[in-house]
Chain A
Amino acid sequence: MIYSILREDMLTKVYENLIVQTVCRIMIPFIQIYALYVIAHGHYSPGGGFQGGVILTASLALIFLAFGQGAVIRRINRRFAIILCALGVFIYAGIGLLCLLLGGNFLDYAQLAPILGVTIPRARSLGILGVEVGVGLAVMAAMYSIILDIAGSPATDNDQESIPVPKDRTAPVEPVA
C-alpha cells in the first residue's frame, strides 16, 4: 500500500532528477556552441544548416526532457518559434532573390560581390554562410514546434505560464507487479 502511494506521488510530481538536470545544465551550452560550429563550418566539413539546426533542436529537447515543458516554452514560445521559422525561410529566399535581382540566377552568390565589396570567391563563401544560417533557423524552429506538438500538452494558449500536470497523469495507477 505504501508502495502504491509512493508510486502515485512520483507520477503526479513534475519530473525532477538531480543527475539528469545537472548533466543537462552542463551539456546544453556546449551542444549549442557545437551546433553553431556545424552551421558555420558546414562548407568545410560534414554538416551545414540542416544538421546544425537539428543539433540546436536537440539542445532544446534536452531542456524539454530535463526541466519540463514550462521551462522550454518560457524560453521560446510557439508564436516566436513560428516567427523564427518564417524568418529563416525569408533569409534563405531573400538571399536567393537578391542574387536574382542583381542579374544572376537564383542563389548565384557571385552577384553579391559588388554589394558586399569583396572578391567573388569570398562573396560565394559569405553567401553560402548566410543561406546556411537561414536554413538552420528554419529547421530549428520547425523541428522545435513539431516536438512541442507531438510531445507537449495541447492546451497552451497562455505560453508564459508553467504547464499544469494533465488530468490523466493524476489518476491512480495500479502498482507494478
Chain B
Amino acid sequence: MNTFFLYVDIFLGFLVLCCLYRVVMGPTTIDRMIAVSAIGTKTLILLILIGFIFGRVEMFVDICTVYALLNFLGTLAATKFFEERGKC
C-alpha cells in the first residue's frame, strides 16, 4: 500500500508542475490565483499521503488543517486586493 501512495504522490507532484506552468505563464492574474489555489489543494492531499507513508496521519492532519486555512486566507486576501484596485 505504501508503494501505491508513493506513486500517487509522484503523480500529484507532476500535476503540481502542470499548475506551476499556469502560475508562471498565466495570461491574467485570476489564472495565476486559481492555479496557486489548486496547488495548495494538491499539496494538502500530498501531505496526507506522506503522513500515511510515515504512519503518522494524525500529525499530518494537523498540518493540513493549517495549510488549508492559510490557502483560503491567501486567496481571499488576493481577491479583496484586486477588487479594491478595480482591475487585474
Instruction: Specify the chain B residue showing the minimal Cβ separation from A37.
Output: B62
In the complex, whether A22 has a CB less than 8 A from a CB of chain B is: no
Question: Are B59 and A46 within 8 A (Cβ)?
Answer: yes
- Kindly identify which residue among B62, B66, B84, B87 contacts A169, using a CB–CB cutoff of 8 Å: B84
Question: Are B86 and A176 within 8 A (Cβ)?
Answer: yes
Task: List the one stretch of B10-18, B19-27, B29-37, B75-83 in contact with chain A.
Answer: B75-83
Question: Are A45 and B69 within 8 A (Cβ)?
Answer: no
Instruction: Specify the chain B residue showing the minimal Cβ separation from A169.
Output: B84
| Min distance, Cβ A16 to any Cβ of chain B, angstroms | 11
Question: Are A58 and B84 within 8 A (Cβ)?
Answer: no
In the complex, whether B65 has a CB less than 8 A from a CB of chain A is: yes
Number of interface residues of B (CB under 8 A): 16
Question: Are A34 and B80 within 8 A (Cβ)?
Answer: no
Question: Are A7 and B69 within 8 A (Cβ)?
Answer: no
Number of interface residues of A (CB under 8 A): 21
In the complex, whether A38 has a CB less than 8 A from a CB of chain B is: yes
- Kindly identify which residue among A20, A46, A173 contacts B62, using a CB–CB cutoff of 8 Å: A46
Interface of A, secondary structure class, is: helix
Question: Are B59 and A45 within 8 A (Cβ)?
Answer: yes
| Min distance, Cβ B25 to any Cβ of chain A, angstroms | 22
Question: Are B69 and A31 within 8 A (Cβ)?
Answer: yes
| Min distance, Cβ B34 to any Cβ of chain A, angstroms | 17
- What 0/1 pattern do residues 47 to 72 of B give for CB contact below 8 A with A? 00000000000110011011001100
Q: A34-B65, A173-B86 are in contact. Are A58 and B70 (CB under 8 A)?
A: yes
Question: Are A55 and B86 within 8 A (Cβ)?
Answer: no
Residues of A within 8 A of B63 (CB): 46
Question: Are B69 and A15 within 8 A (Cβ)?
Answer: no
Chain B residues near A (Cβ < 8 Å): 58-59, 62-63, 65-66, 69-70, 73, 76-77, 80, 83-84, 86-87
Sample 16 A-B pairs with CB under 8 A, ordered by A number. Answer: A7-B86, A10-B83, A38-B62, A38-B66, A45-B59, A47-B62, A51-B66, A55-B66, A55-B69, A58-B69, A58-B70, A65-B73, A65-B76, A65-B77, A65-B80, A176-B87
| 10 nearest A-B pairs in the assembled complex, by CB-CB distance | A176-B87, A173-B86, A65-B76, A65-B80, A45-B62, A58-B73, A45-B59, A11-B86, A46-B62, A46-B59
Chain A residues near B (Cβ < 8 Å): 7, 10-11, 15, 20, 31, 34, 38, 45-47, 51, 55, 58, 61-62, 65-66, 169, 173, 176
